[in-house]
Amino acid sequence: MLAERTRDDALELTTRAHLEQVETALLEAATADTALVTEAARHVISAGGKRFRPLLVVLASQFGPSAVPEDVVKAAVVVELTHVASLYHDDVMDEALLRRAAPSANARWGNTVAILVGDFLFARASDLVAELGPDYVKLQARTFARLVQGQIAETVGPGESDPLEHYLAVIADKTGSLIATSAVFGARLAGASADVQAALQRFGEEIGVVFQLSDDIIDITSDETGKTPGTDLREGVLTLPTLLARRAIGPDPIDPADARLGELLGGDLGSDEALAEALSLLRAHRAVAEARAEVQRRAAAARRLLAPLPDGPAKDALAELCDTVVTRTR
């Protein structure tokens, strides 16, 4: 919810009311014709979550005169369903065992059910967005295309391109695109001007990248995320701290700790012992501090993108998100 120093009582009440309705609507949207599908579809939703995308919809809806609360909630549900559906597919591809401190859907019901439940949730999101109108359907479809392309690019890898640039492009597609769409949905529903919508789209894209880069660091440094620490590391997904560490280590490391970390990062981290050693060495490496500095730099850039927006509590709340994303630990 809104941070203390930027809290506006009216905005706080509005935001809380909308997000409470979103929780109820998410469970309703995940209701299927059979108990099994309903249980599996509600599995990740019931485990909770940051609801960052619904929050962006609600805050962006404050930048215009005409937002209908029911439509704001519906749009928030659409973006969160899309996000949750993608998590089912991600967990299958990553062979993840935990999601939000609970067994992942693929671990509990198998890969086939998890994939199909993800498809079911995508279908429910499509059904709901159609009620908002063709412009919203088009934006949702284009966003979904970016999500898929980002996942394909991550799966294929950087090839001959720079690995860090490749990864930043992947997370812009996989994470930034949907968060940007969340902001545009809210602003468009409110009747905000084209300039305001464009500013919020740029902000959403940038803060979405910051959000994911922050997740990259948390995956390495925290044991309290609700997921197995080092999941990306084990699966060979090169995220910001790992990429910076590999760049710093280079081909001929002098420091023994660097040499061992480079060996581990280039090898098989399938065993718990190897993963634990790699995590320990990476947590102590200067690359983590460099990654945090990059997150702070990008968060400051996201804050500057708010400059064209009209002053008020909603703008203050978005500015505060730039700090929250940097300092969060889970």
Q: 261 near 280, Cβ under 8 Å?
A: no
**How far is residue 248's CA from residue 242's CA, in Å, rounded to a whole number?**
10
| 230 phi-psi bin (left φ>0, alpha ψ -120 to 50, beta other) | left
Map out the domains of the chain with their CATH numbers. 7-192 (1.10.600.10), 194-311+318-330 (1.10.600.10)
Give the tens place of pLDDT for each residue, 123-166.
999 999 999 999 999 999 999 999 999 999 998 999 999 999 99
Report the amino acid identity of residue 174: K
CA distances from 190 to 65, 134, 170, 218 (A): 6, 16, 30, 34
At residue 217, the 3 state secondary structure works out as helix
Quick one: which of 190, 172, 179 has its CA closest to 60?
190
Give the tens place of pLDDT for each residue, 265-315.
988 888 889 999 999 999 999 999 999 999 999 999 999 999 999 999 999
In sequence order, the 6+-apart residues with CB closer than 8 A to the CB of 305 are 199, 202, 203, 206
At residue 102, the 3 state secondary structure works out as strand
Give the tens place of pLDDT for each residue, 178-198.
999 999 999 999 999 999 999
Quick one: which of 83, 96, 68 has its CA closest to 29?
83
pTM above 0.95, yes or no: no
CA–chain centroid gap for 292, Å, is 17
Is residue 44 predicted with pLDDT exceeding 80?
yes
Instruction: Find the length of the chain.
Output: 330
**How far is residue 135's CA from residue 145's CA, in Å, rounded to a whole number?**
16
Q: Which residue has the tokens 């990864």?
A: 167
Quick one: which of 240, 242, 239, 287 has its CA closest to 265?
242
